Structure 1
Amino acid sequence: MTFRISLRLLTAALLLIGTFAGQLRAQTSLLQNAPARRVLSLNGSWNYIIDPYENGFYDYRREAFDQSKSGKGGYYDNQKPSNSQEPELIEYDFDKSATMQIPGDWNSQDPKLLYYEGTIWFKKSFTLKPAAGKRYFLYFGAINYESHIYLNGKKLGMHKGGFTPIQYDVTSQLSASGDNFVVVKADNTRRPEEVPTINTDWWNYGGITRDVFIAETPATFITDYKVQLARNDASQLAGYVQLGGDSKAGQTVTLTIGEAGLKQNVKTDADGRATFALPAKKLKLWSPQSPKLYAVSLSSGPDAVQDKIGFRTIQTKGQDILLNGKSIYMRGISMHDENPLIPGRARGEGDLRMLLTWAKELGCNYVRLAHYPHNETMLKLADEMGLLVWAEVPVYWTIAWENPATYQNAETQLSDLISMGKNRASIVVWSIGNETPLGAPRLKFMSSLAQKARSLDDTRLISAALELHRTPDNVIHVDDPLGEFLDLTSFNEYAGWYWGGKPSEITKYTFDIKYNKPVMISEFGGDALAGYHGDAETRWSEEYQEALYVNQLKMLSTIPGLRGMTPWILADFRATRRQHPVYQNGFNRKGLISSTGTKKKAFYVLQEYYRQMARKYDGK
């Protein structure tokens, strides 16, 4: 009996893992450059219902309505009273419920939801009459965190991950009359087995936080493509095109880069895939000094996709980082996907462009988009503005390293990030995590992610924020075994703030770095409340932060292989952990720019250092 029960439990667990892996990704492969399609925007006003007990999802026996035989009974039905003399008991009404602007988090739009973690239902009615010979894809830029999505009362699927796109082919689910409604159950509850885990250091914004639209394509369509230079070879353009839909085998695909006089026709194989390779000598290479983008056209039959793509190579050689074959110093800053001037997540191009403009003013040629995938628009702006990008997944602090479903979740988020960003010249580093503690299960988890990233994209560098330790002789040791699997030796260190004494004392530290690779300081810094002044030893003052930066730069400059940094952080950001009622008040104050847009004294210290590095490496 004991064996039979154990076997049954094991079988159930394996089925659960398989179901999770299937549900985590949306029904169809993500459309490459989906916003460039012909789209019907669903942004704007959505009705919402707060549901902390999940009454709209479970019955009183805690059984999911959408798993019942009828599939009925949940809020996703958007049920209305019938005209009968004895109408049904309905305890909700979307049309009479409050509204919220989408994209947008709920925390900043309703005061009672500031700290809310749980379920909220969203509903949007729209008109779309499907045309013959067309396909339609419902696309969400991001929903935090677990989402269940329904169209016209039918479930499309479930997705986990607060920062990666979600997509479903809804061609057959659209109403022939043109009257449609979509319902989303969004749940931002933190859980220890999720990615990120239960403990983070940023605000847990809930809701539909990025654009929502329906993209239209022909019956056979271009679903994916990669158009980039071959690995470490600026003379060769290489890549692939993937067709989806009804008749994808044996089709002609045309790649055109008119400005460069490049054109090639290729045929798809039985799986709808075609690869191409052609000389790229006429292409002007993309760089921060000259962020050249080309209009790239891909067409097949009735479908055509336009993109703006830059071309460059990135590699390491010993302790050098080579961009287009030339040594580069990466003058960077870390940032969150948040406009500090307006409560909540960044909502659109204006917010994102402001953040990158601040980075350019600081003297950056590089940004670390921490600690999760940022908006696709941010990546395109970085291409346009000439900023190199470190793109990251939220494998952050202490993950459930030995849980297979947790690993699958992390790998899926990494895969979707790479899918979304692989044609962006600005992205030069895929980061697989931040400050994860040493241990054998963690090493297996993280090294597997590094291997997965390389299998998906061998044209960029792989890194992570490694662990370090100090010894009584004031030596900082960087020998995290994960470093063996990475291209950069990147680590966070907070001398002068969390350890190491006063800012004036930190120059006593030296570094013992195991790996002969380029060194990237992925974080350092300290808090300062803008407008609070004292001397260089007055914690929380602008002067303390200024002195910390001065001495950090002295200390770090002794590292022979130092090839860049992304101090923490561009701007103050909201963080629930930061509770000091005078200096923090719900903000992490390590920003070089305050929550009102004021530049702190340390901003100018880093700006001057970057001017010196620009003169040394770029001749400016």
Structure 2
Amino acid sequence: MKKIYLLFTALTIALTVNAQDNKLITTIQNRQGLSLNGAWQYIIDPYETGFYDYRYKELSEKSGDAYWNTDKQVNKTEKKEHGYSDKNTLQVPGDWNHQEQRFEYYEGTVWYKKSFDYKKQAASNRVFIYFGAVNYKADVYLNGKKLGEHKGGFTPFNFEIPDTLLKGTDNFLVVKVDNKRYADEVPTLNTDWWNYGGITREVKLVEVPKLFIQDFMIQLKKADHGKLSKQSEVEGWVKLNNVPADGETITISIPELKFEKQFKANGSVVPLNFSLSRVKLWSPDSPKLYTVNVSSKTDKAEDKIGFRTIEVAGKQVLLNGSPVFMRGISIHGEIPQEIRRAYSYNDALQLLNQAKELGCNMVRLAHYPHDETITRMADSLGLLVWSEIPVYWTIDFKNQQVLTKAKAQLNEMITRDHNRASVIIWSVGNETPVSSTRTDFMHSLITEARKLDHTRLISAALEVNYSALNDQNVIDDPLGEFVDLVAFNEYLGWYGGLPDKCRTTNWSTIYNKPLFISETGGGAKGGFHADSLTRFSEEYQEWYYKEQISMLRRMPDNFVGISPWVLNDFRSPKRNNPIYQEGWNRKGLYDDKGNKKKAFYILQAYYKEMQEKQSAIGK
């Protein structure tokens, strides 16, 4: 018992340290404030004239040439060479690429400007500006003063606005957005997806009391070797901002369970440990969510939380103590029929309903954190989620600054979604080439992920080196030693031979861990029909999936699921066949118009078979 107590204490300390380090506010739901979504004026600035002078030195804060300063003339003699106008507007949230033709391939700087009025509800309250995501680098200015900067195109961030800076009327908010690709960024120069630029997710002002609840994490403790008791043990923490010297009292309540308990806060982070009875566990078959309230004397926050456990036991993945087979699909955060980045409730509903129709109980959100609406909707619909940071292909693994950037994105992804029951896997990367430098880099991310959240599985999508000597492919990537789930991408029949190669191929791993296929797929242009040997025909893709599924039936007993590539066709500047691709990756089971391809029905039938098999085992 003493060892168990010490382990819990160590985990609590690790989680507490993480909570202290992160500045992100996650309790923005139902907060008072002001949405800044809608039309923003803009200036395209490919030479960054609004940021650097003619000697390429950063402009001074008071410079009239700086685009973060007002474009209004003091008098008619003042020189102004920039201006914001309603003739040039972009919708926020939204990428700039799809909104005007001149932005389609644009990579560079765009200045966004929004004017707003705001009167605080109470003089002692504090105001923050919150961004769901900006791709890739954001420099944020209010009324000529810089609030801060952020790198990372898919994770949220916020800055506090000083009382001395916020005006009641005509505030002048400017965001310099730069989506240029660099070798020392995350992701790096080379990616197989469209580099949508802009303020791609919501922007809002959030008003909070002087002492407020900044974040909290509440999760069911892992089961004891897959066994769950009637008394469910819960652990977590609450992070307070600006705790007084004499402490604070925190109350946790779950009205539906008639639960309420108080905790004394003597510092900024309050560890939680309590029991719940009569809890209905969250699962894909029954995605039960409870309203959880966290309150202090001056503040209140709430969230919809599902209680479940996820763990690895030997060769199996256990959800709530029972083996689960993951019928997955990989998804890009894109709406193909409108050629734009996904961000809204309706976008999430489209993508996840497509996955549900396919027969999925799981989605892999690739290759970056998707909008928060999709993980929250996955909670409601009962879809398991693999969430990933864009450590992709050949980033600069020897560069410590790149590792720091990757850790920052990992921290922001986990912090935002650590209460989502649907998220069961944090992924630290995709198809990274094997070397000792890369393995050390990725191992460091895995260690960081476990410090941030020990309640979920950690994985990465590994590449495969196909055997040239025989038909036995062994997953022996050194990174497999450190992950919970050995996941690999394979494209046998698309990048290696023809689909009938699957008939004699077998798979195994040197690790005594669950095995998961994180990608497989072949391309087809929707509506193009030919014989099954013709590349890019729907018949070729259909044949590909038939052969893959026959091979899957021979997988070893540690095979726990698959997330084929990909749900929808998506834009990629790497795909330039002038007849069949035209700037699209065509591996989707839906085409760019939303039509199902023939392969959709092959995978759907397999998933129905596996669902019936799982149900029979459960009985």
- TM-score class, shorter: over 0.9
Change (3 A) 1:479 1:173: farther
The residue aligned with 1:292 is 288
8 Å CA contact 1:231–1:458 kept in 2: the answer is: no
**Offset, 1:512:** 3.4
Matched, 1:564 2:556: no
Q: Describe the shift of the 1:556–1:180 C-alpha distance in structure 2 as closer, same or farther (beyond 3 A).
A: same
1:168-219 per-position Cα deviation (integer Å, ceiling 9, x unaligned):
0114254343331210110000001100000000000000000000011111
Answer yes or no: is 1:100 the counterpart of 2:90.
yes
Matched, 1:544 2:535: no
Q: Is the 8 A contact 2:242 2:268 kept in 1?
A: no
Aligned residues: CA RMSD: 1.6
Match of residue 157 from structure 2: 166
Q: Deviations over 1:44-100 (max 9, x none)?
A: 00000000000000001111114x6x56641001231013xx522111111355011
Retained in 2: the 8 A contact 1:249–1:268? no
Distance 1:33 1:586 in 2: 40
Contact 2:363/2:386 (<8 A) preserved: yes
For residues 390 and 384 of structure 1, the distance between their equivalents in structure 2, rounded to whole angstroms, comes to 16
What is the aligned partner in structure 1 of residue 4 from structure 2?
A: none
Pick aligned residue for 2:175 from 177, 184, 188: 184
**1:372 maps to what in 2?**
368
Kept in 1: contact 2:459–2:484 (CA 8 A): yes
In structure 2, what is the equivalent of residue 132 of structure 1?
123
Residue 318 (structure 1) shift: 1.2
Q: Is the 8 A contact 2:327 2:361 kept in 1?
A: yes
User: Secondary structure, in 3 states, of the residue corresponding to 2:363?
Assistant: strand
Q: Distance in 2 between matches of 1:432 and 1:291?
A: 26
Tell me how many residue pairs correspond in the alignment.
Answer: 589
8 Å CA contact 1:152–1:181 kept in 2: the answer is: yes
Letter in 2 for 1:102: V
**Aligned-partner SS, 1:208:** coil
Does the 8 Å contact 2:492/2:501 carry over to 1?
no
> 1:611 aligned to 2:608?
yes
Which piece of structure 1 moves more, 97-106 or 323-332? 97-106
Give distance in 2, aligned partners of 1:526 and 1:39: 47
* Deviation, structure 1 residue 246: 5.8
How far has the Cα of 1:280 moved from its partner?
A: 2.2
* 1:302 matches 2:302: no
1:75 aligns with 2:67: yes
Which position in structure 2 is the counterpart of 1:90? 80
Partner of residue 147 from structure 1, selected from 138, 160, 185: 138
With over 3 angstroms needed to count, the CA separation of the structure-2 counterparts of 1:558 and 1:460, relative to structure 1, is: same
The one of 53, 62, 83 aligned to 2:56:
62
Separation (CA, whole Å) in 1 of partners of 2:317 and 2:614: 12
Alpha-carbon distance in structure 2 between the residues aligned to 1:246 and 1:314 = 34
Q: Which residue of 2 aligns with 1:511?
A: 507
- 1:254 corresponds in structure 2 to 251
Aligned to 1:115: 105
Amino acid at match of 2:353: T
CA distance in 1, matches of 2:528, 2:337: 19
Which residue of the partner structure matches residue 9 of structure 1?
none
Residue in 1 aligned with 2:521?
525
Q: Distance in 1 between matches of 2:560 and 2:71?
A: 60
Is 1:248–1:272's contact at 8 Å kept on the other side of the alignment? no
Contact 1:365 1:387 (C-alpha < 8 Å) held by counterparts = yes
**Partner residue in 2 for 1:19:** none
- Name the counterpart of 2:408: 412
Matched, 1:237 2:231: no
Work out whether residues 129 and 179 of structure 1, in 8 Å CA contact, stay in contact via their aligned partners in 2. no
Which deviations, in whole Å up to 9, do the C-alpha atoms of 1:548-593 show, x marking residues without a partner? 0011111122221110010000011111111111111111110001
Unaligned ranges ≥5, structure 2: 1-20
Q: Which residue in the other structure is 1:10 paired with?
A: none
Task: For residues 294-337 of structure 1, give each alpha carbon's deviation from its aligned partner in whole angstroms, at most 9, with x where no partner exists.
Answer: 01111111211121000000001111110000011000000011
Match of 2:216 among 222, 225, 232: 225
Matched residue, 1:15: none
Q: Report whether the alignment pairs 1:40 with 2:31.
A: no
Q: What is aligned with 1:445?
A: 441
Is 1:488 matched up with 2:485?
Answer: yes
CA distance in 2, matches of 1:176, 1:132: 13
What is the aligned partner in structure 1 of residue 47 from structure 2?
A: 53
TM-score (norm 1): 0.93
Amino acid at match of 1:245: N
CA shift digits 1:428-456 (9 cap, x unpaired): 00000000001111011000000000011
State whether residues 215 and 240 of structure 2, in contact with CA within 8 Å, keep that contact through their aligned partners in structure 1. Answer: yes
8 Å CA contact 1:174–1:180 kept in 2: the answer is: no
Q: Distance in 2 between matches of 1:306 and 1:171?
A: 26
CA shift in 2, pair 1:44/1:249, >3 Å: farther
Deviation at 1:467, TM superposition (A): 2.4
CA distance in 1, matches of 2:145, 2:446: 38
* Aligned counterparts of 2:337 and 2:298: Cα–Cα separation in 1: 45
In the other structure, the counterpart of 1:574 is 571
CA distance in 1, matches of 2:136, 2:576: 24
Evaluate the alpha carbon distance shift between residue 148 and residue 198 of structure 1 in structure 2; reply closer, same or farther with a 3 A threshold: same
In 1, Cα distance between the equivalents of 2:448 and 2:470? 39
SS in 1 for 2:479: helix
Q: Aligned partners of 2:407 and 2:270: how far apart in 1?
A: 25
Once the two structures are aligned, what percentage of the paired residues are identical?
Answer: 50
**Taking structure 2 as the reference length, what is the TM-score of the superposition?**
0.93
**Residue 476 of structure 2 corresponds to which residue in structure 1?**
479
Letter paired with 1:36: N
Alpha-carbon distance in structure 1 between the residues aligned to 2:476 and 2:552: 17
Tell me how far 1:469 sits from its aligned partner.
1.4
C-alpha distance in 2 between matches for 1:549 and 1:477? 21
Q: Tell me the CA shift for residue 133 of structure 1.
A: 1.6
Q: Deviations over 1:249-303 (max 9, x none)?
A: 510110000111211100112x322122111232110000000000111111121
SS in 1 for 2:277: coil
Equivalent position of 1:394 in the other structure = 390
Query: One-letter code of the match for 2:509?
Result: I
**Residue identity in the other structure for 1:34:** I
Which residue of structure 2 lines up, in the alignment, with residue 18 of structure 1?
none
Q: Larger deviation: 609-618 or 321-330?
A: 609-618
2:220, 2:234 within 8 Å by CA — same for their partners in 1? yes
Output the amino acid matched with 1:93: G
Instruction: Provide the secondary structure at the position in 2 that maps to 1:95.
Output: coil
One-letter amino acid of the structure 1 residue matched with residue 413 of structure 2: L
Note the C-alpha offset of 1:545: 0.5
Q: 1:150 to 1:97 in 2, by over 3 A?
A: farther
Note the 1:331-370 alignment, pairs <5 A: 331-370=327-366
Map residues 2-17 of structure 1 onto 2, 5 A cutoff: none
Whichever residue aligns with residue 441 of structure 2, its letter is F
Q: Matched residues in 2 for 1:183 and 1:572: separation?
A: 35
Q: State whether residues 28 and 169 of structure 1, in contact with CA within 8 Å, keep that contact through their aligned partners in structure 2.
A: no
Tell me which amino acid in the other structure corresponds to 2:30. A
Which position in structure 1 is the counterpart of 2:307?
311
> In structure 2, what is the Cα distance between the partners aligned to 1:507 and 1:598?
30
How do residues 459-478 of structure 1 correspond to structure 2 at under 5 angstroms?
A: 459-471=455-467, 472-478=469-475
Aligned residue in 2 for 1:29: 23
Amino acid at match of 1:229: L
Give the distance between the partners of 1:73 and 1:173, measured in 2 at CA: 24
Question: Offset of 1:248 from its aligned partner?
Answer: 7.1
- Following the alignment from structure 2 to structure 1, what is the Cα–Cα distance between the partners of residues 289 and 544? 39
Give the secondary-structure state (helix, strand or coil) at the position aligned to 1:264: strand
Assess if the C-alpha contact under 8 Å between 1:219 and 1:246 holds in 2: no
Write the deviation string for residues 84-125 of structure 1: whole angstroms up to 9, x where unpaired: xx5221111113550111111111011011000000000000
